[in-house]
Chain A
Amino acid sequence: MRLLRLAIIGALATGALVLAWLSVPSSSPVVITEESSSRDPGMAERGAYVVRAAGCISCHWDRKGSGIAFAGGRALATPFGVFYSPNLTPDVETGIGGWSDEDFVRAVTWGEGIHGEQLYPVFPYTSYSAMGVSDVLAIKAYLFTLKPVKAPQLENKISFPFSWRALMKGWKLLFVDSPQNEDWPRGEYLVRALGHCGQCHTPRNFFGALDGGAHLQGNRSGPDGWRVPALVGATKSNFADWSVEEIAEYLKSGVKPDFDSAQGPMAEVIEDNTKHLTSEDRRAIALYLKSLNQH
């Protein structure tokens, strides 16, 4: 009896501790090691390009609802509910106008909001964590050149328990490595960090975390209900047969080697992002993807 009581007290205490830990706002220490600041000359110009490579606009623009680019408000349906993207324009009240460089780096690479709140991984910080700090700050510099737009955050429609943001702290502990700036070749960096291709093309586990062992092997339940084809070990599609030139051409024009065309979210990715990259970068992406299929 006494033992049972002890066990119950122990369980309650552990639960309380976990709850307390989850509810403490996070503010991971951000070290801006390089001599870089979003105010450095040339950063905004560089950011205009990084923004394309990182695909920011595709989610942070409610195109169908005639919204303003980067002002957010786009709905993204996921197996966990519907998320609305936030406003990235430098409006102080509803956007990121009041954010410091550190705040921005913390959000993009750690998934921590300005008030220490946990960001949902629908924002792909699990990929962006491998971004170089100077690339992150270049994005910020570019965003701060935009016209501030007043666009309050729309409320996400997520079911319990996921509606409880603090839970993401535990999720991160289980599934996310702390940010690391990997020394990847350009193509790999574009695919894995900036382009965050795996966020759609890699399958997820029960908890919505990317299955690291199945990198780019396709995802049956992609965004907005789309089935996302495999880029590695493709059996159903013939992607594995595409040449480097054909992959690069697809990322530029949206036309596949068989003259079919990109559709759905990938058509947006090409239109908003990859067609604006340099041909060297498109080729680097193609070379990296090709290398994954040569084992």
Chain B
Amino acid sequence: MKVWICALVAGLALSAGSVLASAALTPQQIVDDRVAGMKALGGNLKGARTATDAAGAKAELAKAIAFTETMQSRFPKGTGIGDAGVAKSRALQDIWTKPDQFKSAIEALSSALKAADAAAGDQAKFDAAFGALGKSCKGCHDQFRGPEAP
């Protein structure tokens, strides 16, 4: 009996927590916010790539790394293609049916960013790091992003 109550309380607390976390935003708003974040991430990466010195590159990469740390939380279940309340998204359901692969895709991005950060200042290494970084973007897009709506 006690166990049951505990489980019930825990369950309520969990769902209350997830409701609270997303209470302010509708699924489509989460998607839109995520898309804006991805665009900003692209801007940071371009900024880092074209920065004139290592400090400039590192400043942009720091923003990208900070964003990437929030990546997983930007993909709550129910915010993909075909989900209720989502009119426009390119997030494939594979994100939620293959959570381990999605997690490693994010980790690949994270480590590629850190490698680029470490390489800033050494042009050859920096170029190579950006090659790998581009691959991590593409790797995740190829696997977890659907086609653009016509």
Contacts and interface: CB of A to CB of B under 8 A. Distances in A.
Given A259-B42, A267-B142, A225 B150 contact: yes
> How many B residues touch the partner, as a band?
10 to 19
A202 B131 CA distance: 31
Interface in B134-149: 134-135, 137-138, 141-142, 145, 147-148
Nearest to A256: B42
A293 interface: no
B77 interface: no
B137 A260 contact: yes
Given A226-B150, A227-B148, A263-B148, A258 B141 contact: no
Contacts of A261: 134, 137-138, 141-142
B147 A263 contact: yes
B50 to A, nearest CB: 9
A75 to B, nearest CB: 17
B46 interface: yes
A253 B131 CA distance: 8
B61 interface: no
Contact of A227 (B45, B145, B150): B150
B39 interface: yes
Main DSSP-derived SS at the B contact region:
helix
Nearest to A258: B42
B39 A258 contact: yes
Contacts of A262: 138
A256 to B, nearest CB: 8
B147 A255 contact: no
A263 B131 CA distance: 18
Contact of A259 (B45, B142, B148): B45
A226 B149 CA distance: 9
B31 interface: no
Contacts of A226: 147, 150
A257 interface: yes
B42 A260 contact: yes
A253 B150 CA distance: 24
Contacts of A259: 41-42, 45-46, 133-134, 137
B17 interface: no
A267 B134 CA distance: 14
Nearest to B150: A227
Interface in B1-59: 39, 41-43, 45-46
B144 to A, nearest CB: 12
A264 interface: yes
A255 B39 contact: no
Nearest to A224: B147
Nearest to A262: B138
Interface in B100-127: none
A148 B43 CA distance: 49
Interface in A252-277: 253-255, 257-264, 267
Sorted nearest first, the 6 A-B pairs with minimum C-beta distance are A255-B134, A258-B42, A261-B138, A259-B42, A259-B45, A261-B141
23 contacts: A225-B150, A226-B147, A226-B150, A227-B148, A227-B150, A253-B135, A254-B134, A254-B138, A255-B137, A257-B46, A258-B39, A258-B45, A258-B46, A259-B41, A259-B45, A259-B134, A259-B137, A260-B141, A261-B137, A261-B141, A262-B138, A263-B141, A264-B147
